[in-house]
Amino acid sequence: MKRRYLFFLTALLLLVLCLLVGCAEDNTEPMTLSCRVIAVMDRELLLAADGHPPIMALSPAANPKISVLRDGAAAPDGDAPIPGDWVLLTFSDGITETSPALPRGVTQMDIISDGFDNLAAVYLQVLTDLAAEQASLIADKSMLAVSLEATALPAWERTAVVAALAQYITGQYPAMTVIEESRSDLIAKGFLTKDPDSPRWHWQDGSILSVSEITHKCTDRKRYFIAFFDLSHAWTGCHTARDTETGIWLPYEKGGSMLID
């Protein structure tokens, strides 16, 4: 009789604990995170958020359970986040500390119209085009360093742009490693070397992609920049302008190409 009583009591306690855990899970408050959409891929969105590594989340098209709002109201059919959108991401099960970070249990994406800024997407296109045009100078390298520190982008958007570019690069060159480093950092770490009789730096096993804004020509509506590649090539006269009505940064215009002495 005593054993049966103890068994019954143990089972009852386990049942109570299970109910308590279930209640705790049911009462979990959803979490929100403000993000910038950097790139839209086949089934995923690459997002940037202050204080987090680049974030990868399924797109609403890939997960019909994700509802899309625009400014707090149900979005029209077909409306979906695009590069440059500011979105409020709602999820229920935390976010990983990996890179990329993965929010779990995403239920909603609210597009905040006033937050749109696609400058990061413009720079991603510049870097992608530059890498494609100079593919012959990348193919025999094992590392590619990318630097956007001389642009107006905040650090967390720059890192996400590099992550998006890395997906493009490694898709063509699986063995290549893409890192986010400035030229001065590369010199300090010994990647770049210089012959005593030459003023130029060399990186035998790597290349550099970078964008530098010409700040004295920048305005609130225009951005002028030079895109550098591999310490010896540059695109000059590049610029983009923001449409006054839509707030969209227009496709960049390329000036001439030149060799850097």
Lowest mean pLDDT among 36-40, 169-173, 229-233: 229-233
* 143 or 20, greater pLDDT: 143
* Contact criterion met (CB below 8 Å) for 62 and 43: yes
Give the residue from 181, 135, 165 showing the smallest Cα distance to 39. Answer: 165
Cα gap 157→146, rounded to integer Å: 13
- What is the reported pLDDT for 33? 95
State the pLDDT confidence band at 97, using cuts at 50, 70 and 90: confident
Could you give all domains of the chain from N- to C-terminal order, each with its CATH number?
A: 31-115 (2.40.50), 119-259 (no CATH)
- Is the pLDDT confidence value at 196 over 50? yes
- What is the reported pLDDT for 138? 86
- What is the reported pLDDT for 185? 92
The proportion of the chain whose per-residue pLDDT surpasses 70, expressed as a percent, equals 89
- What is the reported pLDDT for 3? 45
- Is the pLDDT confidence value at 23 over 60? no
Helix and strand tally (H, E) in the chain? Answer: 4, 15
The whole-number average pLDDT for the span 36-63 is 94
* 18 or 167, greater pLDDT: 167
- Is the pLDDT confidence value at 10 over 80? no
- What is the reported pLDDT for 22? 46
* Contact criterion met (CB below 8 Å) for 121 and 81: no
Strands annotated E in the chain: 31-40, 44-48, 55-58, 67-70, 73-74, 86-91, 106-112, 143-150, 177-180, 193-194, 201-202, 206-213, 222-229, 233-241, 257-259
* 15 or 173, greater pLDDT: 173
Cα gap 135→257, rounded to integer Å: 15
